[in-house]
Amino acid sequence: MLFNSVEFIVFLIVVFGITWLLARWRLAQTLFLLAASYFFYANWNPWYLFLIVFTSSVDYLVGGAIHRTTVPSRRRLLLSVSLVSDLGVLAVFKYFNFFSTQVAAAFTAAGLAVDPVLLGVALPVGISFFTFQSMSYTIDIYRRQLEPADSYWQFLLFVSFFPQLVAGPIVRASVFLPQLSRPRGLSREMGGVGLFLILSGLVKKVCIADYLAVNLVDRVFENPTWFTSAEVLAAVYGYAFQIYCDFSGYSDVAIGAALLLGFRLPDNFRSPYVATNLRDFWRRWHISLSTWLRDYLYIPLGGSRRGPGRTYMALAVTMLLGGLWHGAALTFVLWGALHGAALALTRAFQRLRGPVPLVTMVTGALIHLGPRDPGWAKVARASAAVLLDTVVRIGMILLTFHFVCFAWIFFRAKSFGHALAILSQLAKGTPGTANVVPTVTLALLAAWTLHCLPEDWVGFLRRLFARTPFFVQAAIMTAVAALVYSVASSKVVPYIYFQF
């Protein structure tokens, strides 16, 4: 059941109505939302519900046991049970075939022909998300940063809550569980903001991400040699905005749907392509994953507390595993390695530079140089300083954006050979954009414009929509629905992150 389908809209309306009819009976409401979440997931494969129930049940029991014991060795043993259980599920269903294939290839390269042992199972939708979410619960209890859930049913709902079940945001128990333990309500502003987020998410997904995919990105990435270098470059840019609008659009719908049900989920994106360096990018892109990797992997590996060498190693390992989290393929591993190496270089440069950026020192000197100069000279120097700062900032944004786009090529490509074919076609420098039709250019411009809107402007539009009369909201929703319907492809396009 995809967010960009009529079935989901009907499902959400029904769940919304029944949820608030049960508002006076908290347990009944929790059980209903749990049943609705399981029904939502069962639409893909009902057998994989057992995975969610198994993962949730193990972590609930282990988390409670960790909380009750004070013996360090027993606490470590119980945590190991949780980690082995969660990572074991991932290893079997997501990574077994990948590692089996790599081992067989290594033996073959050594002169021993070995066929890989493959499991004939489909990848469960959202498995990487709900296992990480459940696993963080026991780790937080082990660290004494969290109290156990008040009830088993609440914990099951925390792991399986349908708006963010299959593609995030990855929600911490410390954020979600307290909302189950206290009365929830739905204010007019919450409802309006929720509807605004759902509408904006659907526009991002259908009108931009899907349109770019069908009319540019998929065609070029499938056969890059058929297109000019300029068209391949446009497709690379197109994929950058496709994956952003696809995933941030999903997050918008998830956060909006949760708001309609009385829950507040954390933001997952903050204009990542205006980041001035990669550290800034990862503070803006898939925030729930990047903070998860930071808190549960990077910091335990040493973080920035044990010297530069340990920091660079922790960054490299974290991003390698982050790449592998995205998919069981060497292209994802390379994507993670590229980001890990670039993050390490960024950190090394920042250490050498010191706490004050060079441009700040230069602009400061321009402003304060010559205190006895005429006023017009000071104004001129201040203007030059602002201009220099702006130029440097734009340069850093463009450099970061193009590195991210370069890495996206390996993320999107089916194989290394495929990625190299795209890079080779780019290197030829052939002109011509006959296959980039005006509507595709318009979609790219719309994506960049929406992406670059200041957060204050977006917040103002949300509040404005939330405070307008309902008949105005209904008219806007009707217009957006008509736009989405007119632009949508004949076949509903799945979300990119559903494969992870």
Task: Estimate the crossing angle of helix 49-68 against helix 26-42, to 10 degrees.
Answer: 140
326 assigned to active site: yes
Tally the C-alpha atoms within 13 A of residue 329's C-alpha that lie toward its C-beta: 14
Say which residues have a Cβ less than 8 Å from residue 40's Cβ, sequence separation at least 6. Answer: 1, 11, 162, 165
Tokens coding 96: 């077994």
Tokens coding 94: 């997501």
Cis bond before residue 308 (omega within 30° of 0) = no
Long-range pairs of 430-435 with CB within 8 A, sequence gap ≥ 24: 430/228, 430/229, 430/230, 431/228, 431/229, 431/230, 432/228, 432/230, 432/231, 433/228, 433/230, 433/231, 433/234, 434/231, 435/216, 435/219, 435/220, 435/227, 435/231
Contact call for residues 450 and 204 (beta carbons, < 8 A): yes
Catalytic residue among 326, 339, 402, 451: 326
Catalytic positions: 326
